Amino acid sequence: MSQIDLANTSLRELNATLQAQKGGDNQTAWEILNPRGSHALAVGLDAPIEVTVKGHTGYYCAGMNQQATVHVEGSVGPGVAENMMSGSVIVEGDASQYAGATGHGGLLVIKGNASSRCGISMKGIDIVVQGNIGHMSAFMAQAGNLVVCGDAGDALGDSLYEARLFVRGSVKSLGADCIEKEMRPEHLDLLSDLLTRAGVDAKPEDFRRYGSARKLYNFDIDNAY
Amino acid sequence: MSDQDHKIPRTVPIQSATFSNPINAEIRRAAATGIYDIRGGGAKRRVPHFDDLLFLGASVSRYPLEGYRERCDTSVTLGTRFAKNPIKLDIPITIAGMSFGALSAQAKEALGRGASAAGTSTTTGDGGMTPEERGHSSKLVYQYLPSRYGMNPDDLRKADAIEIVVGQGAKPGGGGMLLGQKISDRVAEMRTLPKGIDQRSACRHPDWTGPDDLEIKILELREITGWRVPIYVKVGGTRPYFDTALAVKAGADVVVLDGMQGGTAATQDVFIEHVGLPTLACIRPAVRALQDLGLHREVQLVVSGGIRTGADVAKALALGADAVAIGTAALVALGDNDPKWEDEYQKLGTTTGAYDDWHEGLDPAGITTQDPELAKRLDPVEGGRRLRNYLKVMTLEAQTIARACGHNHLHNLEPEDLCALTMEAAAMAQVPLAGTDWYPGKPGSGY
Ligand SMILES: Cc1cc2nc3c(=O)[nH]c(=O)nc-3n(C[C@H](O)[C@H](O)[C@H](O)COP(=O)(O)O)c2cc1C
């Protein structure tokens, strides 16, 4: 285990060190001390390393992550794990807006609540939120899965493409072209796997599934506002 | 009919300037379809432009440089502010971002080949980076757009610069559109969307809003790319003074400013023709913002939107730009709207020079299409050669003008070399109306 203390190390040094790690290196576990809300922490990583952040972070923590596991022992600012490609990011606390935005792959777990626009424009990432999510979540979400153990805010899944949304609690309102869909056995299997991987103790049967009605897929004047 | 009737003079039929034939045709089209008109290209209406400016040339008080013989440099370096590896270009004319999807893979390759041969950069577009264009572009700028289609850190790290697209001159405040006809398997896969559906590109970035967020976004991109490559911010021409100042404040190395004549692959006609500022009106306010911040020439300004000739290049530079970018003109150089396709344009209900249904994917020239048979019509090697020639001619033309004005570098061109033919152009470019020492709004002139 190596420690990097942001009280006496610059952000550039921290990221450069983590970005320089290669797959075969012995040194795979890193601890970041005193993050104090710094932005762009542990971004652009591309090796199967484990990074634990001891505290809260600012914007874009673990942005564009590939392969690494980033564990935040605190809350995160906007855009955590934005455009993640692979690996996983686990947040013990809450997440601000745009969690997992445009993510292409990997797993993002938020143990607290996530704010508005969670999973916006997601393109293949899996996101599991143990608490609630805010309004306009999964806006224009293209692919991947968003699992919400609590409630969802207004306009869930507005202009949704092919992403699948699972919500256990209430949904304040559905966005344009988002509808409730039948939960078939394959969805229960998928959900069960996601909950297991996220370490969440919940029954897949308690969730409801939402997806795209696919009515906005080709421009139709009757759908325009 | 009586003799009297023959003697009464008749009025000739008069077409209305307000309800012109094109306007009436559009009313009928709208009435028949219920859908607004979508097209490619830029504003077609006449707006004050570089044509309304003239160079003064040398005189007793200024002596010229010998054409062909005395050196007149054309190089420009972009990204000197923060990037470890700024981009050095041989000529101040770059190829603007045009997406794979909007353009065929062959067209993207031709742009890369032509730009590289001319010593300049080309730019990706909405939809991500293709191996063809990376492979054939010695300097490739990677666009970071609201849609983030195909966006991935591997490509980001392969880029020679990153361009954060806030907006485009053709449609400032609008997103993008790629209609289903153009969504081939490959385009669909790059964008993670089903084949054949209309693809909307968001008008706002999904994970930041406003200049304070932009600053943090730029920090993130720099951290991911190790502060190596320049970061550009591209804006459509709307509030050029403030947009430039805010982009600079957010940490941009380069500001790309695109006026309303700038082309697009597909947008509503009403948007193209009625939103945004003419390119000419954008430059001076942007330059003033850079000067007010003490960063003119340190943060470079790239201007685009209706650049066609070496004279346009020279005029943009004289007004304070560091470089220009071309989109439509590059496509024309490759063969877009070439008279040799007239028969096919007729079949599509249009004619050479007016073909703008770039969104439909039926381009006879094989440029704005994903149809493999049409796309084959464009030979990327020949296209690249034509683009290189065209870039070379534009450079020679700009040098000719600069030498005539006595400058040994294109960047030494200045507003004092210019006059304006119209009041509007004089006001926008802030150069004197021809034959006077006055322009509207000139400080101290009382107007
Ligand atoms: C076919 C086509 C596709 C374009 N695609 C993009 C794009 O993906 N991203 C972007 O920022 N601008 C795009 N543009 C705008 C150009 O980058 C540029 O701003 C404009 O073409 C400059 O004006 P000009 O066409 O008059 O030279 C596109 C333009 C055209 C003609």
Establish if B198 belongs to a structural domain: yes
**Residue A71 token pair:** 């564990």
Q: How high is the pLDDT of residue B197?
A: 84
> Looking at the complex, does the CB of residue B180 fall below 8 Å from at least one CB of chain A?
yes
**Residue A225 token pair:** 């506002």
Measured from the Cα of B169, ligand 1's closest atom is 19
Question: Which domains occur in chain A, in start order?
Answer: 2-218 (2.160.20.60)
Q: Which residues are CB-neighbours of B308 under 8 A, at least 6 positions away?
A: B326, B329
- 3-state secondary structure at position B59: coil
A164-167 vs A143-148, strand pairing mode: parallel
User: Sorting pLDDT into bands at 50, 70 and 90, what band is B4?
Assistant: low
Instruction: Look at A71-80, B197-206, B260-269, B359-368 and tell me which has the smallest mean pLDDT.
Output: B197-206
Other residues' Cβ atoms within 10 Å of the Cβ of residue B195 = 12
- 3-state secondary structure at position A206: helix
CA distance B149 to B193: 9
For A153, which DSSP code? -
Number of domains in chain B: 1
User: CB B206 to CB A217 under 8 A?
Assistant: no
CB B169 within 8 A of CB B96: no
Establish if B292 belongs to a structural domain: yes
Q: How high is the pLDDT of residue B180?
A: 77
- Sheet of B161-165, strand order: B93-95, B323-326, B300-304, B254-258, B231-236, B161-165, B140-144, B122-123
> Looking at the complex, does the CB of residue B29 fall below 8 Å from at least one CB of chain A?
no
For B55, which DSSP code? E
Q: With a cut of 80, say whether residue B2 has pLDDT above it.
A: no
CB B72 within 8 A of CB B410: yes
Q: Which helix (H) or strand (E) holds B389?
A: helix B380-404
Interface of B with A in 159-178 (CB under 8 A): none
- CATH code of B81's domain: 3.20.20.70
Q: With a cut of 60, say whether residue B1 has pLDDT above it.
A: no
CA distance B298 to B316: 17
Expressed as residue numbers, the domain containing B254 is 48-335+378-429
Q: Give the type of residue at B241.
A: Y
User: CB B153 to CB A123 under 8 A?
Assistant: no
CA distance A148 to A99: 13
> Distance, in angstroms, between A72 CA and closest chain B CA?
18
Establish if B23 belongs to a structural domain: no
Q: What is the pLDDT of residues B381-399, one digit of tens each?
A: 999 999 999 999 999 999 9
User: Sorting pLDDT into bands at 50, 70 and 90, what band is B446?
Assistant: low
Selected residue of B84, B179, B207 to mutate for chain A interface (largest A Cβ count, 10 A): B207
Query: Residue B211: its chain A contacts at CB < 8 A?
Result: none
CA distance A100 to A62: 10
pLDDT more than 90, % of chain A: 92
Q: What is the pLDDT of residues B249-277, one digit of tens each?
A: 999 999 999 999 999 999 999 999 999 99
Mutate to test the pocket of ligand 1, among B103, B148, B168 (most ligand atoms within 8 A of CB): B168
DSSP state string for B303-321: EESS--SHHHHHHHHHTT-
ipTM of the shown complex: 0.96
Instruction: Please compute the mean of the pLDDT values over residues B243-254 and round it to a whole number.
Output: 98
User: Sorting pLDDT into bands at 50, 70 and 90, what band is B325?
Assistant: very high
Q: What is the pLDDT of residues B40-90, one digit of tens each?
A: 999 999 999 999 999 999 999 889 998 777 999 999 999 999 999 999 999
CA distance A207 to A169: 8
CA distance A164 to A125: 11
Instruction: Look at A75-79, A188-192, A212-216, B399-403 and tell me which has the smallest mean pLDDT.
Output: A212-216
**Residue A202 token pair:** 């919940």
Instruction: Please compute the mean of the pLDDT values over residues A24-47 and round it to a whole number.
Output: 93
Q: With a cut of 60, say whether residue B337 has pLDDT above it.
A: yes
CA distance B43 to B276: 10
Instruction: Please compute the mean of the pLDDT values over residues B177-194 and round it to a whole number.
Output: 83
Please compute, for residue B32, the number of CA atoms within 13 A of its CA located in the half-sphere on the CB side. 7
What Cα–Cα distance (Å) separates residue B211 from each residue in A198, B202, B257, B340? 35, 18, 16, 48
Instruction: Please compute the mean of the pLDDT values over residues A76-89 and round it to a whole number.
Output: 98
Instruction: Please compute the mean of the pLDDT values over residues B118-122 and round it to a whole number.
Output: 98
End-to-end CA distance of chain B: 61
Q: How high is the pLDDT of residue A27?
A: 74
Residue ranges of E strands in B239-321: 254-258, 267-268, 300-304
- Mutual angle of helices A11-19 and B210-224, in 10-degree steps: 40
Q: Which residues are CB-neighbours of A172 under 8 A, at least 6 positions away?
A: A135, A151, A152, A153, A154, A156
Instruction: Please compute the mean of the pLDDT values over residues A166-181 and round it to a whole number.
Output: 97
Instruction: Please compute the mean of the pLDDT values over residues B103-109 and round it to a whole number.
Output: 95
**Residue found under tokens 């013990």:** A92
Establish if B24 belongs to a structural domain: no
Please compute, for residue B403, the number of CA atoms within 13 A of its CA located in the half-sphere on the CB side. 17
Q: What is the dihedral of CA A155, A161, A163, A168, to 10 degrees?
A: 30
Instruction: Look at A178-192, B3-17, B384-398 and tell me which has the smallest mean pLDDT.
Output: B3-17
Establish if B352 belongs to a structural domain: no
DSSP bridge pairs for B128: B125
Instruction: Please compute the mean of the pLDDT values over residues B274-296 and round it to a whole number.
Output: 98
Q: How high is the pLDDT of residue B56?
A: 97
pLDDT averaged over every residue in chain B = 95
Establish if B41 belongs to a structural domain: no
Q: How high is the pLDDT of residue B244?
A: 98
Q: What is the pLDDT of residues A163-173, one digit of tens each?
A: 999 999 999 99
Establish if B3 belongs to a structural domain: no
Mutate to test the pocket of ligand 1, among B171, B264, B282 (most ligand atoms within 8 A of CB): B264
Q: Is B343 exposed, middle or buried (0-12, 13-18, 19+ CB in 10 A)?
A: exposed
Q: With a cut of 70, say whether residue B304 has pLDDT above it.
A: yes
- Dmax (CA) for chain B in angstroms is 92
Establish if B420 belongs to a structural domain: yes
Query: Residue A95: its chain B contacts at CB < 8 A?
Result: none
Q: Which helix (H) or strand (E) holds A2?
A: strand A2-5
Q: With a cut of 70, say whether residue A191 has pLDDT above it.
A: yes
